[in-house]
Structure 1
Amino acid sequence: MTSATPPKRYAVIGNPVEHSRSPFIHEQFGRQTGLALRYDKIKAPLDGFAGAVADFFAQGGHGLNVTVPFKEEAFALAQAHLSERARLAGAVNTLWMEQGRLHGCNTDGVGLLHDLRRLSHAPAGKNILLVGAGGAARGVAFPLLDAGCARLHIVNRTAQRAQQLRQQVAGHMPRLAASLSAGSLAEAGGPWDIVINATSSSLGQTPPDLPAGLYGPGALAYDMVYAPRPTPFMEQARRQGARQTADGLGMLVGQAAASFAIWHGVSPDMEPVLHALRQQLLYT
């Protein structure tokens, strides 16, 4: 009698990573599609990301989701084999081995666009404020412009980083450069149709230092962080006049589904997993 083939191993890697719901999501996708898999959490040292990635794949791992603060380091590791989405973003959230070579993609933008459409706030024709200029912002700036937003304004605590991201995006998409601008948090302007918090500020329980007057009629405030209750950014947005607020749980499920499709060649059904995850968050 032969033993059953052990499940393939996947994981999310970050620091912090304890809060991650990715294992639940991928296990649900696996059950849905009949695929046996094991999905773990890996907390990599802040100065030891490359080593942790190498160890994971050396021990037979098949795929990694990358979260804060390592998306730009993941981009550098997979530099020789990047998808177009990753190359444009300058950040990677999905890693896998193919013929002994490390490959990288960025599925954040796919996840965000899917969730904005689910919330009836498709980006086409909208004026959008993107708060933050790190790996998360890099992953969604190109997709938002490509989806046809009328204007994308990037702001960051350090204005220079926002300008650098603007220059990077404009360099790759010169035809859309006129729709793109950048500045400091104090230069957020407004009113906006959609305001997206791409910083990790809500993990620290403090909203970004944004001025009033950001939200236009019917505006959506979207926090890429998710939580069982409204995040500090969402609460701030409500006080400042946002009509609708949402956290990033739908984006998380959307980007996970895109990663799952890369690794397994099959697209799972996101809606039941999103519903189950929301219920799980409410009662934990």
Structure 2
Amino acid sequence: MKLAVFGNPVAHSLSPRIHRLFAGQCGLDVDYRAIEANRESFPALVARLAAGGGRGCNITVPLKHEAWKLAARSSECATRARAANTLVFNDAEDWYADSTDGNGLVNHLETLPGCALAGSRLCLIGAGGAAASVLGALLEAGPDIVFIANRTRDRAAEVVDAHSGLGVMRIGTNQDLASCEPFDLIINATSLGHDGDAPALEPAWLKPDGLCYDMNYGGAADPLRRLCQEKGIRYSDGLGMLVGQAALSFTLWTGMTPDAQAVLEILRRDQP
């Protein structure tokens, strides 16, 4: 089975290893490659993969919107986000787009001690593509409220409008967090960690048993991890989300359900 992940940059991607581990669990022969592409080259490269017998692909930044546009059909989640991290090639005329990021995140959160989303107060920091890709799944998990904190209210309002009717949402700036009631969960959906920075965060913004979850992983998660350690805030990086979304993509392509937790444990063990 031919699969790939497209992005720029993509050489660092853990996806090939993750999917090889999934394939080994399921007894499948999978050829999964990382292919660098830009917005101009991406459509032709994806078409070549499909024409060569490929079953599908993953897509990472900055190509998720382009992937969604290429598909003939898409899931509600991908349509709301106007972005896809997974394409399934059913035939030449029927490409299906999905966004598994949100459910991958929710599935990982539900494995963490004391992290019940139903009835919770949740804060999402950031209103870019990463936030839009997970908001729908978070709302469907049943929190009492999702507060979206962003530097500009206009962008946050666009994300809320795309998810209207799914749950209670409020918007504000990062500065507004100090005046909010404490949250059960704060999720960092910004890319600040890639520049060695982290969003502002104070223990008082969380309940005593609250959690800060960083959608970043690896080196990009280090700044917020250090900040949480300094301030005594419970923390998790996004490696479990990465494995979770990959497992859902794998199921879309194969119809099989891999053991995501076992693969996550392997990756954790190999971390420096």
Relative to the length of structure 2, the TM-score reads 0.90
Displacement, 1:13?
Answer: 1.3
CA pair 150-238 structure 1, distance change in 2 beyond 3 A: farther
Q: Distance in 2 between matches of 1:281 and 1:38?
A: 24
1:235 match: 226
| Structure 1 portions without partners, runs of 5+ | 1-7
Deviates more, 1:245-254 or 1:205-214: 205-214
2:209 match: 218
User: Paired residue for 1:95, among 87, 94, 97?
Assistant: 87
User: Paired residue for 2:190, among 192, 199, 215?
Assistant: 199
2:127 match: secondary structure = coil
Q: Percent identity?
A: 41
1:39 match: 32
| Structure 2 portions without partners, runs of 5+ | none
Q: Distance in 1 between matches of 2:257 and 2:148?
A: 32
Displacement, 1:22?
Answer: 0.8
Q: Distance in 1 between matches of 2:158 and 2:190?
A: 16
Relative to the length of structure 1, the TM-score reads 0.87
Q: Distance in 2 between matches of 1:112 and 1:262?
A: 17
Displacement, 1:240?
Answer: 4.1
Q: Distance in 1 between matches of 2:172 and 2:51?
A: 43
1:62 match: secondary structure = strand
CA pair 241-215 structure 1, distance change in 2 beyond 3 A: farther
2:175 match: 186
2:74 match: secondary structure = coil
Which residue type is aligned with residue 183 of structure 1?
Answer: G
Count of paired positions: 268
Deviates more, 1:52-61 or 1:32-41: 52-61
2:157 match: 163
Q: CA contact under 8 A between 2:102 and 2:133: conserved in structure 1?
A: yes
1:4 match: none
Q: Distance in 1 between matches of 2:220 and 2:173?
A: 28
CA deviation string 1:143-171 (max 9, x = no partner): 1111111110112233321111011111x
Q: Please tell me whether residue 252 in structure 1 is matched to residue 252 in structure 2.
A: no
2:253 match: secondary structure = helix
Q: Distance in 2 between matches of 1:45 and 1:205?
A: 24
Q: CA contact under 8 A between 1:215 and 1:240: conserved in structure 2?
A: no
Q: Distance in 1 between matches of 2:106 and 2:213?
A: 12
Q: CA contact under 8 A between 1:223 and 1:231: conserved in structure 2?
A: no
User: What is the 5 A alignment of 1:261-280?
Assistant: 261-280=251-270
Moved over 6 A (4+): none
Q: Distance in 2 between matches of 1:258 and 1:232?
A: 29
RMSD of Structure 2 on Structure 1 (CA): 2.0
Q: Distance in 2 between matches of 1:265 and 1:275?
A: 23
Q: CA contact under 8 A between 1:130 and 1:196: conserved in structure 2?
A: yes
